[in-house]
Structure formats: structure tokens, C-alpha cells
Amino acid sequence: MLKIVIDEQNALYRHGLEMLLKQIFSAEMNVTVEIVTLNETNIATADIIFKNYDVGVSCICQPLLHTRRKNSLVIGLYEGSKNPRYAELPLCITDIAFVNRAEPVNKTKTTIMRGWEDCRAAQEQKKQWSCLDCRHRTLSPQQVKIAAHFYRGDTTEKIASDLQINPKTVGAHKRMIMTKFNLNTDFELLTFLNNLLKEKRTLELFNQSLEAN
């Protein structure tokens, strides 16, 4: 049995993806497929993991993926013109394959099949990696504070007043955050921060920052 984990909020796209996966593996390869949602238990036993990658997310550490099986395949789902491979990926997902949600079905199918074939062929060649060697991108302590305020909807002036710094410094930190994670608009920034909040440690830091003011 092939266990597939899918992290996808768009119900229509998820349904289409499930149908495609059953066609590829059940109908064409005669393999029984079990499709489940993403959680820590499922990801540790999955053969294939479909993970949502909104803009900027491919740069940051993904603790859940640390528990995945050594020979599992990770496929990142994204939309828009920004291919997540623009950045140096964290070591735990350097073997990831990316699928744009707007791609034709045939192209998506090819990416999935090629990724699965490559994954199986490279089973004995997987390299060990350490988080200590990883160059994933993070927010500095000051950037966490400023990002938390932007997420709350505070203006530059309000943030500067609360943190007792110059408004230009706030603007400079905002630009550094957006450059670091390849964000171009305030909407992309808020989407990115919303994804960061899904990580328990980041949520704790955000809450601590907001409660301090």
C-alpha cells in the first residue's frame, strides 16, 4: 500500500489531485493508495508528501518534515510565477519536486511520476544531513517583534513608538524581511507571517512580543 499525505486547503484542487494520484498509482501501477491529511503521525509513515508552499515558506525550517521517512518523496504545491527554488532550500527538502497549481494535468502527472521514479532510484544514495549545517532563513529577534506588530495591523509609526525606535528603522527591517523571503507586497508579507504562525515556536515568539507591549 502507498500512503500519501496531502496538505492542501483548496477542496477542488485537492479532489482533482486525489483523482490524478489514484489514476497514476492504482489504475496504471496497480498499487493500493491510502490518501490522508497532514499531521505528525501520518508524515512519519508516508511514502509521498504533498506540502503547501506559499511564497517565502520554502526558505524556512519545516520541523514536521524532519520526521519523514528517509526515502519518501516531497512535492511542494505553489501558485503564481515565483518558483520556490529561487532560494537555497533547507537541507531536509533539497530533494523536493515542485508543482504549480496552474500547470496542466499532464505536466503535473509527469512531475509526480518522475519524482517518484527518481526517489525510488536514489534510495541507496540518500545523504545524511544535520540541522546544524542547514542555512534555512529565520527572523532576527528584532524582526520577530516588528513582524508581530505588522501582523496585528499596526502602522509603522505605532510600531516605532511601541518599540522606541525610529520609523525609518522599522521600514528598514520590513524591507529586510521582504527581501530575505522574496516578498513583494504587503499581502505576501501577511500570508507569509500567517504561515509562520503555524509553527509552534514562532507563535510563542509572536505572542511574547505582542504581550510585552
Q: Tell which of 102, 133, 164 closes a domain.
A: 133
Q: Which residue has the higher pLDDT, 89 or 113?
A: 113
Q: What is the pLDDT of residue 38?
A: 86
Residue 115 and residue 28 share a domain: yes
What the block records as the C-alpha cell of 64 is: 514536521
14 pLDDT more than 80: yes
Instruction: Calculate the average pLDDT of the chain.
Output: 85
Taking the C-alpha atoms of residue 35 and residue 20, their distance in angstroms, rounded to an integer, is 12
Pair 51, 102 in one domain: yes
| CATH number of the domain residue 115 falls in | 3.40.50.2300
In this predicted model, what pLDDT tens digit does every residue of 115-127 receive, in sequence order?
Answer: 998 887 766 555 5
| 126 & 146 share domain | no
104 & 152 share domain: no
Q: Give me the domain span that covers residue 186.
A: 141-211
199: pLDDT confidence band, cut at 50, 70 and 90? low
pLDDT digits 0-9 by tens, 177-191: 998 888 889 999 988
Q: Same structural domain for residues 46 and 115?
A: yes
Q: Cα separations (Å) of 26 from 51, 71, 189, 209?
A: 21, 20, 40, 49
Q: Answer yes or no: do 26 and 67 share one domain.
A: yes
Question: Could you tell me if 95 and 32 lie in one domain?
Answer: yes
Whether residues 76 and 170 share a domain: the answer is no
Domain count, the chain: 2
Question: Do 117 and 25 reside in the same domain of the chain?
Answer: yes
Q: Are residues 12 and 59 in the same domain?
A: yes
CATH of the domain at 161: 1.10.10.10
pTM over 0.75: yes
* Res. 131: pLDDT tops 80: no
Question: Residue 201 above 60 pLDDT?
Answer: no
Structural element, H or E, at residue 99: strand 97-100
Among the candidates 83, 102, 133, a domain finishes at 133
Cell 518599540 maps to which residue?
Answer: 163
What counts of helices (H) and strands (E) characterise the chain? 8, 5
Residue 39 has pLDDT above 70, yes or no: yes
Given this model, what pLDDT does residue 81 score? 81
7 pLDDT more than 80 = yes
Distance between CA 65 and CA 73 in Å, rounded? 11
Same domain membership, residue 127 and residue 145: no
**Arithmetic mean of pLDDT, 92-116:** 91
